[in-house]
């Protein structure tokens, strides 16, 4: 079965649609559950045309076998993933992070005086700077070593996050007094103030590659919101195992509101806070990969 041709005369056959979906699941861990054949064809057609191909099948050949495929996979990952984000996203959850989770972490880390938080899948960085503002305003970590690490698979997003210059739409949910306090308006946009930026670092990490995730240091908290929903079940399980490995004992995992670990992992305990649900790595838990079967 074939769909009617798109505006450029390209036809995505049902079999090709299925083949692309399984290739994207296998290579990128993406589920693409909400993509119909027509929407996938729309997303891919510019890439097909850009390579001078006349059919989706030729493009599939390039992805599978060409020497240029590595660059193309990076382009594709950017096109196939959703990068939507903004400061102060889900205020109730952030309030709970500030009033319940940060005090727990301050108590747990009071001897080491180090706080490491990882925003995994941070897109263009708004979540990282939001977390940095919360940590700063809490006043609980003065004179501590504080590192808030933001990572994303998209090179373009990581560059934007490092730049830390934002347009109006990023501020749709942030209180205006906070914006005034922590950003400087310049002709090219609102710049994150240095006293917030100094806590933050960024890197490109594909969460579906456990060897890359292992390079991220031990964390007191991992915030991974609105990312797992795009993964297929096997990738979701693998990413969660990597998170469990990266968390210190007592460390906290915060997911987005539409995400949970039901049917994914039971290595973390559910933490029912007053304002939200989160997950915690229990004392005496085991690392998940077989080579690390000893208590942490």
Ligand X SMILES: C[S@@+](CC[C@H](N)C(=O)[O-])C[C@H]1O[C@@H](n2cnc3c(N)ncnc32)[C@H](O)[C@@H]1O
* Closer by beta carbon to ligand X, 208 or else 267: 208
Q: Which residues contact 262 (CB under 8 A, 6 or more apart)?
A: none
Collapsing DSSP to helix, strand or coil, 227 comes out as coil
Min dist. Cβ of residue 236 to ligand X (A) = 11
Please tell me the distance from the alpha carbon of residue 218 to that of residue 238, in angstroms, as a whole number: 17
Question: Least distance in Å: CB of 76 to ligand X?
Answer: 11
Closer by beta carbon to ligand X, 10 or else 183: 183
Q: Residue 242, interface with ligand X (CB under 6 A)? A: no
Nearer to ligand X, 127 or 220 (CB): 127
Whether the Cβ atoms of residue 174 and residue 85 lie closer than 8 Å to each other: no
Phi-psi region of 175 (alpha: psi -120 to 50; beta: other; left: phi over 0): beta
CA distance 104 to 90: 20
Any contact of residue 84 with ligand X (CB under 6 A)?
yes
Q: HSE of 253 in the Cβ direction (CA atoms, 13 Å)?
A: 29
Closest listed residue to residue 247, CA positions, set 272, 282, 276, 271: 282
Q: Is 122 in the site for ligand X (CB under 6 A)?
A: yes
Residue 236 lies near ligand X (rule: CB under 6 A): no
Closest to 229 in 3D by CA, of 198, 268, 183, 260: 260
* Residue selected from 225, 236, 246, 280 as contacting ligand X according to rule CB under 6 A: 225
| Among 21, 89, 246, 281, contact with ligand X (rule: CB under 6 A) | 89
214 binds ligand X (CB under 6 A): no
Q: What share of the chain is helix, strand, coil (3-state, %, to 5)?
A: 45, 20, 35
Is residue 121 part of the contact set for ligand X (CB under 6 A)? yes
Q: Which of 116, 170, 226, 248 is close enough to bind ligand X by CB under 6 A?
A: 226
94 binds ligand X, rule: CB under 6 A: no
Q: Is residue 127 a contact residue for ligand X (CB under 6 A)?
A: yes
Binding interface with ligand X (CB under 6 A): 29, 81-85, 89, 121-123, 127, 152-154, 157, 206-208, 225-227, 230, 256
């Amino acid at each position: 079965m074939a769909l009617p041709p798109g505006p450029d005369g390209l036809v995505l056959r049902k079999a090709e649609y299925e083949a692309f979906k399984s290739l994207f699941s296998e290579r990128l861990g993406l589920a693409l559950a909400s993509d119909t054949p027509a929407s996938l064809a729309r997303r891919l057609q510019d890439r097909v045309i850009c390579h001078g191909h006349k059919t989706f099948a030729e493009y599939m050949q390039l992805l599978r076998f060409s020497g240029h495929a590595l660059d193309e996979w990076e382009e594709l990952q950017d096109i196939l993933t959703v990068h939507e984000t903004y400061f102060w996203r889900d205020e109730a959850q952030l309030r709970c992070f500030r009033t319940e989770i940060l005090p727990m972490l301050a108590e747990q880390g009071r001897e080491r005086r180090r706080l490491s938080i990882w925003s995994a899948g941070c897109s263009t960085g708004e979540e990282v700077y939001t977390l940095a503002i919360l940590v700063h305003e809490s006043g609980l970590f003065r004179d501590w070593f504080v590192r808030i690490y933001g990572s994303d698979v998209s090179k373009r997003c990581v560059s934007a996050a490092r730049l830390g210059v934002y347009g109006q739409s990023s501020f749709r949910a942030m209180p205006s007094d906070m914006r005034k306090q922590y950003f400087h308006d310049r002709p090219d946009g609102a710049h994150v103030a240095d006293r917030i930026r100094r806590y933050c670092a960024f890197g490109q990490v594909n969460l579906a590659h456990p060897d890359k995730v292992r390079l991220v240091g031990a964390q007191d908290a991992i915030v991974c919101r609105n990312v797992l929903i795009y993964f297929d079940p096997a990738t979701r399980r693998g990413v969660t195992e990597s998170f469990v490995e990266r968390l210190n004992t007592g460390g906290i995992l915060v997911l987005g509101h539409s995400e949970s670990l039901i049917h994914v992992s039971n290595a973390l305990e559910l933490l029912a806070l007053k304002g939200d649900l989160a997950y915690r790595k229990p004392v005496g838990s085991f690392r998940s990969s077989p080579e690390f079967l000893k208590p942490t």
